[in-house]
Structure 1
């Protein structure tokens, strides 16, 4: 910068009025021996010299005053310009230093991601992980971060898999873990659902609705990054490869209560109300304490209780309400029907649609409804993993709720608020309900064995 100042200053000084315009230099006295009147072409004869000589002292005084003024003006102008240059160079230097520091920081972060080492700075982008208050926006992730966090989407990191995608455990560092959903489908319809999921979950925040932390596009591949749900999906625990489910009766009731709370928030507390339109066991995720949270809002629509027509039929076979399937009528009662099917899965341990033979499938609703209302048959169709482990009266109540939820006529189905209040007394206090277990309340379990 000093070199630049020394280069610029002489240019501006010599370009000032002092050096750019000719100065009126006073004429030398006549007696000067260097000048000869014979040879000077400015004077024709001696009379001209004599006429001008008396005025020489007066002209010299005037020219010296002009010279002092010009020198002063030149100094002021040069000082002002020099100060401006110095200020401009100082600002430019500060800007360059900040820019270099920012580029250096970004380079360090990319280097950490590529090496798979600690990604501590990423926590600063997600205040929701610390405070639980992320509102109104989600972040775009770089694909390379997802590759490193999932160990190149290794099979050992799979949490679960549904029709729409596969869920992976992602470990960004010791403080930041998440669940990455790799979406299978592509095309315009998949793009719309992807965008709808991001827009919906950026506005919806509830303890029983999964939090969306970010998204990623890589070529045609699409990824959604959720909060970590260590125990995967409900479908995996009910119908997974391990055969007998380890979900106990109290935990299953807690899961049903959590889903009912999430649905009540969508139907009663969102403005406008939200219809999920794809409630199913694979879209119910479980955290480390088996708290249930609804996910996959790609098909969600707003509208609430009023009938909605001309909405493209979407959903999963076995969970779709009959009025929506046959007539295209969509209401919040359509979600209630899907919830009833999930409740049947929790009770019976069977899939919504089971293949009877090569040419025929059977709906769990059609097969189970007659037996659910028959108290003599009900205990025999319960999932063997939980048979003889619950209060018989509680079993009858849950079965009655399930039958009401899957009624073919929407007006016969209860509101999700009513379902929620019916479940609270059936869930132990330590799991979020109001039931206090005593020895006497367990005595009726023996009736199930007879």
Structure 2
């Protein structure tokens, strides 16, 4: 749907600072309410046209949906699905995090499903380009929605083989980093590497030293699921790109946890 600048200006209360969700180098994001009372997000970005071309072909339950757009000479806007519970980072790195292991596993499964779809079921395939906890949004039912497509690109049809493989392998690695953040509850790359080393060593009893203790659980089922989640994360972060799994393999492994 095409929106006029006037409608978006009114929907955001003239782009009021009280409606500002985030401001970055490339974009500003605002809460908005359309004339029909629908809540949406308005993203003001110079890359709106490029981003729209990518995400308009990526309709998936775990990818933030596009409601419409507004392009004119001065400013470009995307109108996106409103996702009320903020980003995964907001919750994962809060001192009062309440994300249980079951929720973290579900988020990992859902994000892997979104990336599997982009890599293997869209033609030409799409590289998200910025998989991070800040770009995973949580809806009212705590389902994960992949957002932040400003760095995304379609794989180059003319440069097949190693070029596209490398882009996808890099994205798998970044997803592995996200999984490790879910496991350890920390952004620290050194702690993520430590967790990978524990998995690679086979000393599973040592994993408790790096797990997020805010999720403390004595449930055997939880422990098995967390161990499997950590194993998948370590697999994705394998140093040699050619030894990393595809997102199809990752998604399948996580669904079987």
Could you tell me how far 1:338 is from its partner in structure 2?
1.2
Could you tell me how far 1:155 is from its partner in structure 2?
4.9
Per-residue CA deviation, residues 178-202 of structure 1 (Å, 9 max, x unaligned), is 122244xxxxxxx4x4322111122
CA distance, structure 1, for counterparts of residue 74 and residue 179 of structure 2: 36
Establish whether residue 297 from structure 1 lines up as the match of residue 149 from structure 2: yes
Q: Give SS of 1:377's match.
A: helix
CA distance, structure 1, for counterparts of residue 42 and residue 216 of structure 2: 35
Establish whether residue 376 from structure 1 lines up as the match of residue 231 from structure 2: no
Q: Give SS of 1:331's match.
A: helix
Q: Given the superposition, is the C-alpha separation of residues 371 and 271 from structure 1 closer, same or farther in structure 2, using an over 3 Å criterion?
A: same
Q: Which segments of 5 or more consecutive residues in structure 2 lack a partner in the other structure?
A: none
Alpha-carbon contact 2:124-2:154 (below 8 Å) kept = no
Could you tell me how far 1:341 is from its partner in structure 2?
0.8
Instruction: Flag the structure with larger Rg.
Output: 1
Could you tell me how far 1:407 is from its partner in structure 2?
0.8
Comparing 211-220 and 255-264, the one that deviates more: 211-220
What is the alpha-carbon root mean square deviation over aligned residues?
2.7
Establish whether residue 228 from structure 1 lines up as the match of residue 82 from structure 2: yes
- Which residue does 1:271 correspond to in 2? 123
Establish whether residue 337 from structure 1 lines up as the match of residue 166 from structure 2: no
Q: RCO higher in 1 or 2 (8 Å CA, sep ≥ 6)?
A: 2
Match runs of 1:163-312 below 5 Å: 164-173=26-35, 175-183=37-45, 191=46, 193-216=47-70, 221-239=75-93, 242-298=94-150, 299-303=152-156, 306-308=161-163
Q: Give SS of 1:260's match.
A: helix
- Which residue does 1:317 correspond to in 2? none
CA distance, structure 2, for counterparts of residue 163 and residue 397 of structure 1: 37
CA distance, structure 2, for counterparts of residue 176 and residue 162 of structure 1: 25
Could you tell me how far 1:257 is from its partner in structure 2?
0.8
CA distance, structure 2, for counterparts of residue 163 and residue 386 of structure 1: 35
Alpha-carbon contact 1:341-1:365 (below 8 Å) kept = yes
Of the candidates 135, 144, 157, which is equivalent to residue 6 of structure 2?
144
CA distance, structure 2, for counterparts of residue 236 and residue 163 of structure 1: 20
Could you tell me how far 1:399 is from its partner in structure 2?
0.9
TM-score (ref. length: structure 1): 0.50
Alpha-carbon contact 2:22-2:28 (below 8 Å) kept = yes
Q: Given the superposition, is the C-alpha separation of residues 375 and 179 from structure 1 closer, same or farther in structure 2, using an over 3 Å criterion?
A: same
Establish whether residue 392 from structure 1 lines up as the match of residue 223 from structure 2: yes
CA distance, structure 2, for counterparts of residue 164 and residue 288 of structure 1: 27
Q: Which segments of 5 or more consecutive residues in structure 1 lack a partner in the other structure?
A: 1-138, 184-190, 310-328, 355-361, 427-450
Alpha-carbon contact 1:159-1:233 (below 8 Å) kept = no
Match runs of 1:101-116 below 5 Å: none
- Which residue does 1:113 correspond to in 2? none
Aligned positions, number: 250
Q: Given the superposition, is the C-alpha separation of residues 387 and 399 from structure 1 closer, same or farther in structure 2, using an over 3 Å criterion?
A: same
CA distance, structure 2, for counterparts of residue 388 and residue 156 of structure 1: 39
CA distance, structure 2, for counterparts of residue 182 and residue 384 of structure 1: 39
Of the candidates 400, 410, 429, which is equivalent to residue 241 of structure 2?
410
Per-residue CA deviation, residues 301-329 of structure 1 (Å, 9 max, x unaligned), is 224872228xxxxxxxxxxxxxxxxxxx7
Establish whether residue 366 from structure 1 lines up as the match of residue 193 from structure 2: yes
Could you tell me how far 1:160 is from its partner in structure 2?
5.3
CA distance, structure 2, for counterparts of residue 173 and residue 380 of structure 1: 52
Could you tell me how far 1:171 is from its partner in structure 2?
1.5
Alpha-carbon contact 2:20-2:31 (below 8 Å) kept = yes
Q: Give SS of 2:149's match.
A: coil
Q: Give SS of 1:330's match.
A: helix
Alpha-carbon contact 1:170-1:178 (below 8 Å) kept = yes
